[in-house]
Amino acid sequence: MRDCQKGDMEEPILHRQQVRSADCEAVGRLVRATGFFSEEEAGIAVELVDERLLKGESSGYFFLLAEAKDRLLGYSCFGPIPGSTHSYDLYWIAVDPEAQGKGIGKRLLIESERIMAARGARRIYADTSSRPQYEPTHAFYRSCGYREEAFLRDFYGPGDGKVIFVKTTGNDPK
């Protein structure tokens, strides 16, 4: 992933927030293609799309999808954290490996943050694995203004901890 302030897409990318039934397959394929997620995790990503299709906004899952020429290039999924008055989770952000390094992830993140802030978010949390494979992901979050808030050792499995990043929005008075 590239620095949060840079990006250079050659073809126009369209962003949309409305999910479609075809997104279930497209999201599953994209998540699997990254090589970062287990089959169980890919299934969860698809379930969240299904949940949004079934329940709409009341699902608590919001999406931003980036596509070009009817191909899903990347997406984010986020929502308010139940029981919180102002905290949001960034559940997923993934970019097709063939489209990485072109600023798509950065654009998805910035626009997702804007949408969350408009919905009242003061703090945005992003969880990720501590495996070495995720170092570029950690660097991406840091370059985009996130800070490491917590580390939970062996959370996902032996030697695979959870790293929790946080970013405050303009809505946070602190």
DSSP 77-141: EEEEPTT-SSEEEEEEEEE-GGGTTSSHHHHHHHHHHHHHHHTT-SEEEEEEE-SGGGHHHHHHH
- For residue 143, which amino acid is it? S
Cα-trace Rg, the chain: 15
Helix (H, G, I), strand (E, B), or coil: what is residue 15? Answer: strand
Average pLDDT for the chain: 91
pLDDT score of 174: 60
pLDDT score of 155: 96
The domains located in the chain, with CATH, are: 14-123 (3.40.630.30)
The conformation of residue 159, written as its DSSP 8-state character, comes to T
pLDDT tens-digit profile of 75-121? 999 999 999 999 999 999 999 999 998 899 999 999 999 999 999 99
pLDDT score of 6: 35
